[in-house]
Amino acid sequence: MNILLLQETDWIKRGPHQQHHLMDRMALKGHKIRVIDYEFLWKEDKEKKVLTGRKEINRAYKVFKEADITLIRPGMIKVPILDMATIPYFHNKEIKRQIQEFKPDVIIAFGILNSYIGLQQAKKHNIPFIYYVIDHLHKLLPSEYMQIIAKQLEKQTIKGADKIFVINKGLEDYIIEMGGDINKISIITAGLDLEKFNPKVDGSSIRAKYGVKKDDLLLFFMGWIYDFSGMKEVAESLSANENENIKLMIVGDGDLYKPLLKMRSKKNLDGKLILTGKIPFEEIPEHIAAADICLLPAYKNEIMKDVVPIKLYEYMALGKPIIATNLPGVQKEFGFDSGINYIEDSTNTL
């Protein structure tokens, strides 16, 4: 099967998310995968070209090195506002090209604007279209005006899709609220490779690497460190706590990474706040295994209320107790007897 996947995040720098795990595994089963992504983290690049042309990247795997995935990055104008405004031209052009050259058997979309474009082309060429929803996408946009437009596009894509996949019951409810047909919706919860994520994984070498002693209590968070991740408040609580045996390890990059680096230096937290930055996916199980307690102290905002991050499944697979904000989606998914200690907000973590 030829599968064309559309998304509006950086396939290489972000994740691995649900789509990375799925597409890598589909590629290993012999399916041909092409991904069209959007280089939305372009401001972080050292290269300062305003106009960039189309790029094609082979073997763009995220989880399995053997996965042969082709990544296509349409051209873009790297100027704020214009970067998103040019998606209709560049992505429409690329989707048309892939339909002509690659002849996809199905189009699977994860974004907003290029998903809407992909839907129109799929209908035109009688290609099955699947909308895969893992977030309240329009709520991730920075301005209210953009959210209003994005919500309407999202609604049209939901109504026009042949099939809609969601990752939990909360997102199923969200799709129905957005006008989706319940008969088109399937819930596909997050899955794990239990050969890699299990309680037998040894994290002692990671504790030794970062100077975490046996009698230290190591709190752990991994993933993109959003402003609303709650990690700023946890780090501040750690600074105020005089117990030198409580330490916090944060694995990943994101909005708060540099502010946390500054906080560590300013508040003399070198021995207590461990910031690893981004690490290879294959090293994640060992790092989780090193932890005593894993965290999800996210804000209870509109973005997070129905989300069930895959990290929770990974924490549980290694048998770790969890402290998490009482997010509706998480409570609906796991209930109150699955090893999660719910808190009201991130300031209650410690």
> Is residue 225 within 8 Å of residue 299, measured between CB atoms?
no
Size (the chain), residues: 350
- Region 172-186: what's the mean pLDDT? 95
Phi, psi dihedrals of residue 221, rounded to the nearest 5°: -140, 145
**pLDDT confidence of residue 185:** 97
Q: What CA–CA distance (Å, rounded) separates 11 from 337?
A: 35
Beta bridge partners of 36: 6, 72
For 234-244, write each residue's pLDDT tens digit. Answer: 999 999 998 99
Q: What average pLDDT is seen over the chain?
A: 93
Where are the alpha helices (H) located in 29-59, listed in sequence order? Answer: none
Cβ-based neighbours of 22, under 8 Å, separated by 6 or more: none
Cβ-based neighbours of 259, under 8 Å, separated by 6 or more: 232
Six-digit token pair at 209?
Answer: 């690497």
Q: Is the dihedral of CA 136, 22, 228, 326 positive or negative?
A: positive
Bond prior to 16 in cis (omega within 30° of 0)? yes
Determine what percent of the chain is predicted with pLDDT higher than 90: 77
- Region 181-201: what's the mean pLDDT? 93
- Whether the per-residue pLDDT at 140 is higher than 80: the answer is no
Q: How far is CA 174 from CA 136, 151, 303, in A?
A: 8, 12, 12
- Whether the per-residue pLDDT at 220 is higher than 90: the answer is yes
- Within 10 angstroms of residue 288's Cβ, the number of other Cβ atoms is 25
- Whether the per-residue pLDDT at 262 is higher than 90: the answer is yes
Mean pLDDT lowest among 158-162, 198-202, 301-305: 301-305
Residue at 322: amino acid letter = I
Top pLDDT among 329 and 125 is at 125
User: Closest Cα partner for 18 from 307, 338, 286, 319?
Assistant: 307
Task: Report all structural domains of the chain as residue ranges with CATH numbers, in order of start.
Answer: 2-187 (3.40.50.2000), 204-348 (3.40.50.2000)
- Whether the per-residue pLDDT at 215 is higher than 80: the answer is yes
Residue at 166: amino acid letter = V
- Within 10 angstroms of residue 286's Cβ, the number of other Cβ atoms is 19
**pLDDT confidence of residue 124:** 98
For 289-301, write each residue's pLDDT tens digit. Answer: 999 999 999 999 8
**pLDDT confidence of residue 271:** 86
For 85-103, write each residue's pLDDT tens digit. Answer: 899 999 999 999 999 999 9
> Is residue 18 within 8 Å of residue 134, measured between CB atoms?
yes
Res. 80 pLDDT band, cuts 50 70 90: confident
Phi, psi dihedrals of residue 325, rounded to the nearest 5°: -60, 145
- Whether the per-residue pLDDT at 46 is higher than 80: the answer is no
For 19-39, write each residue's pLDDT tens digit. Answer: 999 999 999 999 999 999 999
- Whether the per-residue pLDDT at 139 is higher than 80: the answer is no
- Whether the per-residue pLDDT at 192 is higher than 80: the answer is yes
**pLDDT confidence of residue 191:** 82
**pLDDT confidence of residue 107:** 99
For 310-347, write each residue's pLDDT tens digit. Answer: 899 999 999 999 999 999 989 988 999 899 999 999 99
**pLDDT confidence of residue 15:** 83
Top pLDDT among 49 and 29 is at 29
